[in-house]
Amino acid sequence: LLVLGAGAAIGAVSGVLVTKLRIPSFLVTLGMLSIFSGLALTITGTRPVSIVDDDFSDLFWNGSFLGVQAPIWWTIVLTAAGYYLLHQMPYGRRVYATGGNAVAARFSGVRTDGVKIFAFVLSGMTASLAGLMLAARSTAGNPSLGAGLELDVIAAVIIGGTSLFGGYGSIVGSVVGAIFIGILGFGLLVLGLSTSIQEVIKGAIIIIAVSLNRR
């Protein structure tokens, strides 16, 4: 809960910076990433911190229920919750309205700043949960764990049909995009391609996907 709360707080700060200071969200996200990555490296002395709690590892990675591994259950639960939030609750409609045309949404009575801040809070919490899962997988709190995954995340979301310019997208599509990126990465690894070549291919996929989304 402490980690999720910290993620929510960081997300809230990011949301305030975006809505009140009018800083582009992409730049705020990169800035906060740099700040807290640096803090993590400083606090840990750049060394991994071992995790010896088996219950923690079972909850977020090693455990299973009905023969299904914990990460898959987390994915199912979060996907279902996200789908319900976006498609069955008023907040979801406000998110799409704000992303499509914030000015029109404000004239319609939508508190767009609040919508954006809460979206950042949710993003911070889910990012924290992802961090917990990565830590459980490696049985250590590694300050550099997850570095370089930003490109994979962006690619997965774009391939899943979410527009970088706002207005449309879906949780299910993003999950499908993530699965595609995972399969692609595994396939490139099997082919023996270097990490640098994999990054080139992923970058090209992002450019192609964005160009198709704009049509």
201: confidence class by pLDDT, cuts 50, 70, 90: confident
Placement of tokens 């764990």 in the chain: 145
63: confidence class by pLDDT, cuts 50, 70, 90: very high
Cα separation values, 2 from 15, 27, 125, Å = 20, 26, 10
Q: What is the mean pLDDT of the chain?
A: 91
Tell me which residue of 56, 37, 61, 64 sits closest to 134, measured CA to CA: 61
Hey, what are 187's tokens? 């396939």
Q: Which has more confidence, 17 or 194?
A: 17
Overall pTM surpassing 0.85 (yes/no): yes
Average pLDDT, integer, range 162-167:
80
Query: What DSSP line would sit under 138-202, residue for residue?
Result: HTEE-TTTTTT-HHHHHHHHHHTT--TTSS---HHHHHHHHHHHHHHHHHHHHTT--HHHHHHHH
pLDDT of res. 215:
60
211: confidence class by pLDDT, cuts 50, 70, 90: confident
55: enclosing H helix or E strand:
helix 54-57
Report the percentage of the chain scoring pLDDT > 70: 99
pLDDT of res. 118:
97
20: confidence class by pLDDT, cuts 50, 70, 90: very high
Distance CA 195, CA 146 (A): 15
Phi, psi of 144 (to 5 degrees): -105, 5
CB 36 within 8 A of CB 10: yes
pLDDT of res. 214:
67
Across 8-17, b (16+ Cβ under 10 Å) vs e yields: bebbebbbeb
Average pLDDT, integer, range 84-95:
94
Among 15-29, 109-123, 173-187, 198-212, name the one with the lowest average pLDDT.
Answer: 198-212
CB 24 within 8 A of CB 97: no
- Amino acid sitting at position 2: L
Tell me which residue of 152, 148, 150 sits closest to 182, measured CA to CA: 152
Distance CA 7, CA 32 (A): 11
108: confidence class by pLDDT, cuts 50, 70, 90: very high
